[in-house]
Structure 1
Amino acid sequence: MPAILQTQTGWSHPLDQTSDSPSLPSDFRICKLCCQPSGVPTFTLGANHLYRCHDCDFHYLDRLDPPPDDITVTLTELQQRYIDKRLNDNARILTSRLNLVREFSDLTGQHCLDIGAGVGQFLLMLADGGAVCQGIEPSSLRREFARQRFGLKLSWQLAEEPFWFEQHDSFDLITLWDVLEHVNAPVATLQAAFALLKPGGLLFVETDNRDTISYRLSTWVYRLTRGGSALLLPNFYRQVPYGHKQIFRPAQLYTLAVRCGFELVAATPPSTEITQIKTPGYRPAGQTVMIARKPV
């Protein structure tokens, strides 16, 4: 069995469709990125509003997921088939992500944390490469699938919670694949990743890119039609449990990482200060990818 530490922790993505929890109370005028009281509801998307911060131009939805808990669920046959299909769909991109990690890190003996581990596929790949791994996944359905199919016990507590305080400065590598757009508190998530990494440890982030033509065109059409058409905006912010709650512009993500204490190593898209990622075969469309290091 690969070396995967069995603990208990949290994140996810839209699969828990049995839940229709309402938004948690919050003052969404306070920007989720810069923390200034400059958020204004700018786009109406169904029952929710997409806020725009007048200070930093961050976009975020007025919806939060309830905290995850350690509940036991029973997977239906339909849910199992759905996840099984996604296993095959995810194989190629997970392999390219593994190649990216290997370009910057020798996995042998490395202590790795996958935040938003899904059903544990990437954890298994890391472990097969010689790493000692832990994973965070708040979706009870995914945790149960990981337990049944792969014998994994993924954690449900979020990375910023006290459960993890004893493991600060202990990880060589942390991954957040398609996670930051889903979490309630993206700043707290990156701050927690910084605290959990050893000095010199690496952080790998992949998240949706708000600078894509489809996103920009959708906001332009919404304004032009005075809300009559949102084009693809509802697809960017699906209003389901663990759906997207915010989407970063690349510059916003890079600035936040530096604010949290990280040194930027490489990124796609690059900037004048950041090296372009050139891993063969790794070309995630419509995504921002960032590799950062905790200073020694």
Structure 2
Amino acid sequence: MSRTQTAQLMDGTSLARRMIEESAANAADITRRTGTSPCLATVLVGEDPASVTYVRMKQARCAKAGIKSRYIGLPAETTTAELIDVLAGLSDDPEVHGILLQHPCGPHIDERAAFEAIAPEKDVDGVTMQSFAAMSFGLPGFMSCTPGGIMRLLEAYDVELAGKLAVVVGRSAILGKPVGMLLLAKNATVTYCHSRTEDLSSIVQEADVVVAAVGRPRLIRGEDIKPGAVVIDAGYNPGNTGDVDFDTALTRARLITPVPGGVGPMTIAVLLAQTVEAAANQLGIQQS
């Protein structure tokens, strides 16, 4: 690819719309056959403005897809024990098929303990240790939503992963680590990097696929992108800025996700698809 060419944008918005339409059809089928609509419970601790916005967005998407949403808003001073009680109650509630704990919950909350209170069969956000293990071993279970969305994008754009070097920049439990496991399952050779990696640029320069998920604006320089590489920018920073210097990367990559409009819409689409799948599993419905 010459430097005068520009990368093709990976349109997560359009792909997510098609996925949500499919989820809506599946949800309608479940409702028709059982009289029960899939239901997603969303738990929010406190009133962080960004989290409130995300929750409202997810509720709106649920409504469009024929999925019931149950919102549980808890005060900011909620303790870990109190949060666990709420999540355990939802796990035991047969009318709830999926549970989403909006994070971050606040520095006083033990998020890992809270996540583990979610029953694995209702862990449609893919945050429990059991979900991570299932994902890593290729067993039935739910993917972390953003990694799952990334894999759907790569598949939609026919990105060959077998034998390719994929560099994941970021090591969070719900993004960096699981996306590396999913890439490995597709026979990619995976290198994990992070904010403390020495000489990050030289490692990125070798990558056939770059997944930027560290949460630092423009950490990945465009000139470090290997010509013809595929760039997945899963970072979202103030000012609609990703983790990759988009303008310069655009002249070197073959495929690249925009921010916004790339990975973000796919995250919600996977969440809804997994909620419908969870409902089908719990209601004993076989879907094509």
Calculate the TM-score normalised by the size of structure 1: 0.30
Calculate the TM-score normalised by the size of structure 2: 0.31
More strand by share: 1
